[in-house]
Amino acid sequence: MRTMPLSKAFTLIEPGPVVWVTTWDGKKNNVMTISWTMVLDFTPRFALTTGAWNYSFRALDKTRECVLAIPGADLLDVVVGIGTCSGADTDKFAKFHLTPVPARIVQAPLIKECLANIECKVVDIVRRHDIIVLEAVAAHISTGRKETRILHAVGDGTFIVDGRRLDRRKAMASKLPPGV
For a copy of itself, the binding residues (CB under 8 A) are 8, 10-11, 14-17, 35-41, 45, 47-49, 76-77, 80-81, 83-84, 124, 126, 128-131, 133, 149, 152-176, 180
Q: How far is the CB of 36 from a copy of itself (least distance, A)?
A: 5
Q: How far is the CB of 45 from a copy of itself (least distance, A)?
A: 8
Q: Which is nearer to a copy of itself, 3 or 86 (CB)?
A: 86
Given the complex with a copy of itself, which of 55 and 100 has the nearer CB atom?
55
CB of 39 to a copy of itself, least distance (A): 5
Judge whether 72 and 148 are in contact, CB under 8 Å: yes
Nearer to a copy of itself, 27 or 77 (CB): 77
- C-alpha to C-alpha distance for 10 and 108, rounded to whole angstroms: 20
Our CB check for a copy of itself shows the closer of 16 and 100 to be 16
What letters, b where the CB count within 10 A reaches 16 and e where it falls short, cover 27-65?
Answer: eebbbbbbbebebbebebbbbbebeeebbbbebbbebbb
For a copy of itself, the closer CB: 42 or 100: 42
CA dist list (Å): 137 to 68, 91, 106, 180: 11, 26, 9, 17
Distance (Å, rounded) from C-alpha 129 to C-alpha 117?
A: 26
User: How near is the Cβ of 26 to a copy of itself at its closest, in Å?
Assistant: 27
- 9 Cβ partners below 8 Å, 6+ apart? 44, 118, 136, 139
The least distance separating a copy of itself from the CB of residue 73, rounded to whole angstroms, comes to: 8
SS3 177: coil
State which residue, 134 or 138, has the beta carbon closest to a copy of itself.
Answer: 134
CB of 156 to a copy of itself, least distance (A): 5
Question: What gap in Å lies between CA 175 and CA 7, rounded to an integer?
Answer: 15
